[in-house]
Amino acid sequence: MIEIKGIRKSFGSLEVLKGIDLTISKGEVVSIVGPSGAGKTTLLQIIGTLDKPDTGSVYIDGIDVTRLSQRKLSDFRNRNIGFVFQFHQLLPEFTALENIIIPAYIAGTPKKAARQRAEELLQFMGLSDRAHHKPAELSGGEKQRVAVARALVNSPAVILADEPSGSLDSKNKAELHQLFFDLRAQYGQTFVIVTHDEGLANITDRTIHMRDGLLELSTLGSTGEGDDITDVLHTGDEQDESLESQSEAGVRA
């Protein structure tokens, strides 16, 4: 699913990533932990095609995204990768529903289908009655769930999250963490989550320790677990058909 080979990155004379190799399987929920300044955000931004490495490759479903042109890249990102940041970064002048719909419009999804998908996601997040509230009228936990829904609207195969629960209290934090696993079970997405939260790191399939621009040896490579997401995907008989077909499209993407 995600294969990272020989990633190096410097900012001026500061070498931030010193040769990162990492393989993440489809449907795996991986956490990246490590001290401040270790290079976690830089690595996540490179995986998410928001930044380019100096050397090395990032393959997502067999495509080396470091070689894509700028135009192809924004389209690839919009369709295949969902981002969740520490602070929700919702657009303040738009409602929850509109914030979720916008990336679908950018992807060229017809209006009616986009709205239906956004409404389904709001329902999945338990936020149907907040659809027409603007971010300022939502709680911190609600805003973060809207941000997750926005990340999911185009059914990306990969969700990248940088300190997603950093600004939440313990109850909202626990709910958000549970949500990641519910989403993996329902839609089969792959999650890479940078976190300082030990509780979250402990429940992920694998924890990658990063220090000083390198991964610690014990966390290299894939465990091989989680290779076959189809078991997980097909456990929910009651799942909504259109969501299922879209999620499968997302997983194939």
Q: Which residues bind ligand ATP (CB under 6 A)?
A: 11, 14, 16, 34, 36-42
Q: How far is the CB of 151 from ligand ATP (least distance, A)?
A: 19
- Residue 110 contacts which entry, ligand ATP, Mg ion, none (Cβ below 5-8 A, type-dependent): none
Which amino acid, 34?
Answer: G
Q: Does 144 bind Mg ion (CB under 5 A)?
A: no
Q: Which does 184 bind (CB under 5 to 8 A by kind): ligand ATP, Mg ion, none?
A: none
In this structure, the number of other CB atoms found within 10 A of the CB of residue 118 comes to: 26
Question: What is the rounded CA–CA span in Å between residue 96 and residue 122?
Answer: 9
Q: Answer for the pair 132, 95: CB distance below 8 angstroms, yes or no.
A: yes
Q: How many CB atoms lie within 10 A of CB 113?
A: 12
User: Which of 4, 9, 24, 41 is the binder for Mg ion (CB under 5 A)?
Assistant: 41
Binding partner at 48 among Mg ion, ligand ATP, none, C-beta below 5 to 8 Å by kind: none
Strands (E), 143-235: 158-162, 190-194, 206-211, 214-215
Please, which residues bridge with residue 211 across strands?
A: 214
The 158-162 sheet, strands edge to edge: 81-84, 158-162, 190-194, 29-33, 206-211, 214-215
Q: Which one of the spans 2-10, 26-34, 41-49, 227-235 is the region binding Mg ion (CB under 5 A)? A: 41-49
State yes or no: residue 204 binds Mg ion (CB under 5 A).
Answer: no
Shortest gap between Cβ of 56 and ligand ATP (angstroms)? Answer: 15
Q: Residue 36 binds which one of Mg ion, ligand ATP, none, with CB within 5 to 8 A depending on kind?
A: ligand ATP
Residues near Mg ion, by CB under 5 A: 41
